[in-house]
Structure 1
Amino acid sequence: MECKTHVATTLALGLPLLAVSHEVTAVNVGILALGSLLPDIDHPSSYLGRRHKIMSSVTNKTLGHRGATHSIFGLVLFFVISTFIQHHYLSGDTLNLPFWLSFGYLCHLLEDSLSQQGVRWCWPLFRKKRKKRKKVFYYRTSTMSEYLILVLVLAILIFEISLYLKGDFNYPHMQEVVTWCQQKVHNLQSIINNIT
C-alpha cells in the first residue's frame, strides 16, 4: 500500500477512537499517521525510507522488506521504544502517545495483511515466506484496486470529519472500549518504565 492509502485508512479507523476518547489533537493525529508509516522503514523507496536512507538501508539489508517490522515483534519493539521515549523525554500531556503510535502501527499491519504479499505476523518464528495463497479479497500496491480503496476510505474519512465537526461522535460503548484499552496500555507502560 502506498503511504497516502496507509495514512488515510489509519485515520479513518482511528478518528472515531480519538473522538470518543476526546483526544483529537494535532499531535495525536500526527502520531497516528506516523505509526501507520513506521513499518515501511524497511523499504528504501517508502515515504520514511527516502527520508531516513541510512536507517532504511540497514533495516532492509538485515531484516528484509516485510520482515521484522511487519510482525508482532516489530509492533512490540516500537511500543517499548515509544514508551521509553515518552517516559524519559516527553511531558505528561503525551501519556497516550505510545497507544496511538501502536494503534497506527497495528493498522498498517492489518492493511498490509490484505495485500497480495501479506505479512508474517509471527516473524521470526516463520522467517520464510509462504507460497501465495488464494484470498477472497486482496489488493496489489499501486493498482486500480488500491486506488479504489483509497477513494472509499477518503469518502469515509470525510464523513467522519463532518460527524466530528457536528459533535455527533457519541458512542458510549466505544468510549468504554477505548478507555479499557488505554488502561491496559498504561499498565504495560508502567511495567516497561519499572524495567528501564
Structure 2
Amino acid sequence: MAEPRRRLAPEVRRAQLIAVAEDVFVQHGYQGTAVEDIAAAAGVTRTLVYKYFADKDEIYLECLRAARDELDRAVVAAAGGEVEVEARLRAGFRAYYAFVRDRGTTWEVLFGGGAAVAGKVAASAAEHRYQTAEVIAGLVRDAAPHVAEEAASAYAHAISGAAEQLAKWWRRHPDVGLETMVERTMDALWTGLATIAEGR
C-alpha cells in the first residue's frame, strides 16, 4: 500500500513550490514552462499549485523575488564586512560574481534576459532590478556619506548596470576566473568611484 502524501504547512509547501518552479524555469525557460510542469515536478496536482499562486506569472515573480533577496543579502553581507570603500566595492563584486558562478543558469533565466518575459512580468522584473540598485545605493551612502542621495542612487544604478552586463559577458566566457572578473570590473569603475568617494 502506498504511503499517504504528507501534508505540509502552507508556508513550507509554498517555499517548496517556489524552489521546484525555479528549477523548472531554468530547464525550460519562462515561455516553455506551464503550471502543469511545475505541479508534476513537485509531485502535486495543478489544483494545489493554484491554491498558492494565481498563475505562472506570480510563480515566476516569486522565484525572481527569492533569488533577488538571496543575491542582495550576499552582496550587503560581503560589502558590509569591509571598512574601506575600495574593499567594500571589491567584496560586493566578489559576492555578486560568486552568485553568477554558482547559480549561473538561474541568474541567466531570472536576471539575464533568458526568460523572454513581457507585459506585467517584465515590468515587475524591472522594478526588482531597480530595487537591487537601490540596495547598492544604500551601500554607497554608507561608504561616502557626503554624496547626495540622488547622486548615490545614480552611481548605484551605473554600478548595477555595469555588473549585469559584465556578468552576461562572463556567461559567454566561462574560462575567465572569478577574481579576474572582480579586477576587470574594478578597472572599469574604480577610477571614477574613487574620485567620488574622496569627495573630489
Give TM-score, length-normalised by structure 2: 0.26
Tell me: higher relative CO, structure 1 or 2? Use CA pairs within 8 A at least 6 residues apart.
1
Q: Which has the larger radius of gyration?
A: 2
Q: Which structure carries more helix by proportion? A: 2
